[in-house]
Structure 1
Amino acid sequence: MNVKVIGSHLCPDTLYALSKLKDKNANIDFADLSASFSALKDYLYVRENNALYDAIREAGGIGIPFFEIEDGTQTLDLNVVLNRL
């Protein structure tokens, strides 16, 4: 299964998620917002336009990692992704 992950190589939660996804043999498209302006731009678009981020924005959080499964499902919950693999 293909999974897009938007996160940062500086974020322990992102690194943990990438490890778990690799363990499940997912095809990972990792957009590292700390290393690429285009990845940061993609992340900011998602964060500003996706209802998943409403509470995170209100709390002043960052909200990574973000996952998009090949069927279009978007989530901030690694377990949702792992249960689909």
Structure 2
Amino acid sequence: MLKFYGSHICSGCREALELFREKGFTDFTFVEITENTNNLREFLKLRDTRPELQEAKREGRIGIPCFLLENGEMLLEAEAVLALPAS
């Protein structure tokens, strides 16, 4: 199952959640990174080590929404997630 790292206080994450709802996409787990320190640590480990998030880090952005697929691939756009072939 896809992991969606984000926060309800982030407008981009809220838009992605709404898009998923509109399209009926439910095959994901939402990890609210501001809910607790374990979730934040989990995301920060990705942000600090994954090349896909280095631009966001350099620019002082958080790097969410962020989508981690089961195979380890990372996507940063909700539309890209919806374009994946159904599993």
Q: TM-score, normalised by structure 1?
A: 0.86
Report the counterpart of residue 21 of structure 1 in structure 2: 20
- Which 4+ runs in 1 deviate beyond 6 A? none
Unpaired runs of 5+ residues, structure 2, are none
> How many equivalent residue pairs?
84
Identity within the alignment, %: 26
Contact kept, 8 Å, 1:3 with 1:28, in 2: the verdict is yes
- 1:51 matches 2:21: no
Q: Deviations over 1:42-76 (max 9, x none)?
A: 11001000001111111111110100123332111
Contact kept, 8 Å, 1:24 with 1:82, in 2: the verdict is no
Q: TM-score, normalised by structure 2?
A: 0.84
How well do the aligned residues superpose, as a CA RMSD in angstroms?
A: 1.5
Report the counterpart of residue 40 of structure 2 in structure 1: 40
